[in-house]
Amino acid sequence: MPINRSISLRRSYANIGDYVALTKPRVMSLVLFTALVGLMVAPGGIDPFAAVTALLCIAAGAGSAAALNMWYDADIDALMARTATRPIPAGRVSRAEALVFGLTLGASAVVLLGALLNVAAAALLAFTIFFYVVVYTMWLKRRTPQNIVIGGAAGALPPVIGWVAATGSVGFEPLVLFLIIFLWTPPHFWALSLNLAGEYARVGVPMLPVVAGKPETKRQILLYSLVLVAVSLLPWALGFAGAIYGAVALMLGATLIWLAWQVRRSPDHDRESTRRLFLFSMLYLVLLFGALLMDAAPYALSG
């Protein structure tokens, strides 16, 4: 009997792990962090219970969108080495189970956020899930090389949701944060797709390197990086972040542009420069928003 209970327990944990994997926890952690920044820089502060509630609902919403993305993309995920071990293509979770899980998680998140905080934040969370799943995953991803550009709006909304959860309305400041993430998304994902262009071509996803070629993709990465760095200085220039943030934004921006320039000059077979840019771009966003959290929160809370 003890042996059977042990086997049953291990199976239960394995199932839980598969469902956790459906939520893309690494992506969710970035979503949560940017939402936290939106919460913390909102004027007037926020009650700890409300903050925890908002973050849990936003996390559930992000997990819902990820699960529904995996449900719809299971056919192409099975054909790509990077995604073939995900729970659905690996056969550990069925598509039907993932669909029910994603819909239940998303509906619960939206209803709870609306009931416990405010309807505006819940509506924005519902729109974000819809945009990521329907507009990006079902419509744009397999039809246009601008899939990441337009679809990136979904990933840029969490700080706005955090702000709305705290205040009940949209302000100018969270729209600047939205714009920063929106401009960050194309160079981040195009750096990844440069090394995966063959896989995307094989499954029929028209990522920019597949459609326009690697030289044009590298040029676009550099252009977006330049615009991103300029926009990243707006919180300091407009006065809702101080000198610490401005200095960090400049240093991080200079590094990002240098890495993007290295990618621009690199031969098409060079995978290392694109990998460095992809990895740094994740660190860039975390450090940039971390600096904003340290530098802007006191201004917002005192206001």
pLDDT digits (tens), the chain, 303 positions: 333 333 333 333 348 899 999 999 999 999 999 999 999 999 877 788 899 999 999 999 999 999 999 999 999 999 999 999 999 999 999 999 999 999 999 999 999 999 999 999 999 999 999 999 999 999 999 999 999 999 999 999 999 999 999 999 998 999 999 999 999 999 999 999 999 999 999 999 999 999 999 999 999 999 999 999 999 999 999 988 889 999 999 999 999 999 999 999 999 888 999 999 999 999 999 999 999 998 765 544 444
CATH of domain 13-169: 1.10.357.140
Q: Which residues contact 66 (CB under 8 A, 6 or more apart)?
A: 22, 23, 24, 27, 28, 102
Q: Looking up tokens 């955090």, which residue turns up?
A: 162
Residue 246 CB-half CA count within 13 A: 10
Q: How far apart are CA 156 and CA 177, in angstroms?
A: 8
Q: What is the pTM of this model?
A: 0.92
Which of 185, 233, 180, 177 has the alpha carbon at shortest distance from 36?
177
Domain layout of the chain by residue ranges: 13-169, 171-303
Q: How far apart are CA 96 and CA 99, in angstroms?
A: 5
Q: What is the DSSP string of 100-138?
A: HHHHHHHHHHHHHHHHHT-HHHHHHHHHHHHIIIIIIII
Which of 159, 135, 158 has the alpha carbon at shortest distance from 148?
135
